[in-house]
Chain A
Amino acid sequence: DQQVKQNSPSLSVQEGRISILNCDYTNSMFDYFLWYKKYPAEGPTFLISISSIKDKNEDGRFTVFLNKSAKHLSLHIVPSQPGDSAVYFCAASKGSGNTGKLIFGQGTTLQVKP
């Protein structure tokens, strides 16, 4: 049972344009959402997060939007740069006490073309 889904395995955009990565979840108990970025042969690194009490969080070129009614979140990267080419994972947490346990999606491979 995949509770966090990234239905697009890959995305290709032109440098300077907007990249939109999508993520859907099924568990309404999730209250915290994160995006991680992963380069080949490296571990994932934290990118941006959002609490369920917000619908938008922005950090430089990266913005995450949360639509709780649709159980959907998206990551916008504007403008996209070739160095953004990586695998992006969304993850969700349901306030599982102090353990910080996360449920990850399958990942979306972003390619930004120069």
Chain B
Amino acid sequence: DVKVTQSSRYLVKRTGEKVFLECVQDMDHENMFWYRQDPGLGLRLIYFSYDVKMKEKGDIPEGYSVSREKKERFSLILESASTNQTSMYLCASSRGADTQYFGPGTRLTVL
């Protein structure tokens, strides 16, 4: 079974803090994705990566950056957290164009 894990289930940060969200997958998938889920807006793609050290912007990359130094790990970075980044963050991975497998999500609250 594919397993995608995320470093925290719940996180509370203050405005202006630098925030790191970590995602690890154990199935040697090439592709990894970061989404945020907000009520009424569904899942929106922030960034994705199709190989180590490769990244591409998704639909809403502003205010975020990513890092993929190892194949199994994909990090999402909020350089200076703001209240409008309060959301559920979901990481996913896939092999090629196959089904994406999601982690449990991180509920981030920015005060």
Chain A contacts to B: CB under 8 angstroms: 4, 6, 9, 32, 34, 36, 41-46, 49, 89, 91, 93, 95-107
Q: Is the CB of B41 within 8 A of A106?
A: yes
Q: Which residue of A lies closest to B45 (CB)?
A: A101
Chain B contacts to A: CB under 8 angstroms: 4, 9, 30-31, 33, 35, 40-45, 48, 50, 56, 58, 90, 92, 94-105, 107
Partner of A95, one of B45, B90, B97: B97
Instruction: Pick the 7 closest A-B CB pairs, nearest first.
Output: A43-B102, A106-B42, A104-B43, A100-B94, A100-B97, A104-B42, A46-B99
Interface of A is mostly: loop
CA distance A96 to B30 in the complex (A): 14
Q: Is the CB of A105 within 8 A of B102?
A: no
Q: Is the CB of A46 within 8 A of B100?
A: yes
Q: Contacts A41-B104, A46-B101 known; A101 to B30 CB distance under 8 Å?
A: no
List 7 additional A-B contacts (Cβ < 8 Å) besides A9-B40, A91-B43, A99-B56. Answer: A6-B42, A34-B99, A96-B97, A97-B97, A98-B97, A100-B100, A104-B43
